[in-house]
Amino acid sequence: MTTALGIDIGGTGIKGAIVDVDSGELLSERVKLPTPLGGEPEAILATVVEIIAALGGVADGVPVGVCFPAIVKRGRTLSAANVSKQWIGLEAEALFEKGLGRDITFVNDADAAGVAEVRFGAAKGVDGLVILTTLGTGIGSAIIFDGVLVPNSELGHLEIGGKDAESRASFAAKERSRLTYEKWATKRLQKYYSTVEFLFSPDLFIVGGGVSKSHEQFLPLLQLSTPIVPAKLRNNAGILGAAALAVKKPEGVA
């Protein structure tokens, strides 16, 4: 059994657990704390330290993966969503390694979720090109080809009809415009997924985010050649994917 610690940093909460990266099972309780107000790097690091302390000795000596809502390139965060702008251009991986006193792997949150769904969830056993999208405040995305992650895809920022796709097709856009699930699916999501399908010809779409719990109200309305299914792992996806990437960093990232 191979174990690792996965930490999932979000705009409102930070959670972590020990993971069996062979099976995708949590081996500890899932510890969750609120994201510090303002989302500044040092405050978030301190919260991660608290979570690791709460896990106790089971967290000693295991690989650590941290996922975060930003473009992450070679350990540096190049954007910031729902956290402090201090993260932009920050050597985040180095900051966390110094603060935790150990090596870590720092990755984008949607990428972590995509890897988790391919290894343990909705795309387990699926060959070829898998694209995960998370429908929430914006649209996060992950591209995985034959199990290999192509990081930082940011497909929510495709320009469709002269507008940023997530400004029209995210769940937040649905709520702002007070759209029914039917109108959201047929007028907004259809155009978005048809565009992504044309550009990438994927073998499977996975739809994550909290709204995936209501998938039966909108996914059947989409007319696509590519199968489209809801994510399975939901709140644990970031933890599982971050932990998995911590163990297999050289093979798991393009």
Residue 168 lies in a domain: yes
> Using CA atoms, how far apart are residues 23 and 191, in angstroms rounded to an integer?
36
Residue 120 lies in a domain: no
Structural domain boundaries enclosing 184: 125-231
pLDDT value at residue 248: 59
E strand or H helix at 246: helix 237-247
**Residue with structure tokens 């795309």?**
123
Please check whether residues 101 and 130 belong to one and the same domain. no
Please check whether residues 92 and 78 belong to one and the same domain. yes
> Using CA atoms, how far apart are residues 244 and 69, in angstroms rounded to an integer?
18
Please check whether residues 21 and 72 belong to one and the same domain. yes
- Asked if the model's pLDDT at residue 177 lies above 90, the reply is yes
Q: How many domains does the chain have?
A: 2
Please check whether residues 11 and 107 belong to one and the same domain. yes
Distances, alpha carbon 91 to alpha carbons 14, 123, 202, 231, 238, in Å:
19, 32, 33, 31, 21
Do residues 120 and 231 make contact, with C-beta atoms less than 8 angstroms apart? no
> What's phi and psi for 42, nearest 5 deg?
-65, -35
Residue 171 lies in a domain: yes
Please check whether residues 214 and 239 belong to one and the same domain. no
Joined tokens for residue 48: 């991660």
Residue 200 lies in a domain: yes
Please check whether residues 144 and 221 belong to one and the same domain. yes
Q: How confident is the model at residue 251 (pLDDT cuts 50, 70, 90)?
A: very low
DSSP H helical ranges for 130-202: 165-169, 171-176, 181-183, 190-200
Please check whether residues 146 and 207 belong to one and the same domain. yes
Please check whether residues 154 and 210 belong to one and the same domain. yes
Residue 117 lies in a domain: no
Please check whether residues 215 and 247 belong to one and the same domain. no
Please check whether residues 223 and 150 belong to one and the same domain. yes
Please check whether residues 15 and 54 belong to one and the same domain. yes
pLDDT tens digits, one per residue of 212-229: 999 999 999 999 999 999
Residue 99 lies in a domain: yes
Report the CATH number at residue 16.
3.30.420.40
End-to-end Cα, the chain, rounded Å: 25
Q: Residues 91, 92, 94, 95: is their CA dihedral positive or negative?
A: positive
Please check whether residues 216 and 176 belong to one and the same domain. yes
pLDDT tens digits, one per residue of 37-91: 999 999 999 999 999 999 988 888 899 999 999 999 999 999 988 889 999 999 9
Residue 116 lies in a domain: no
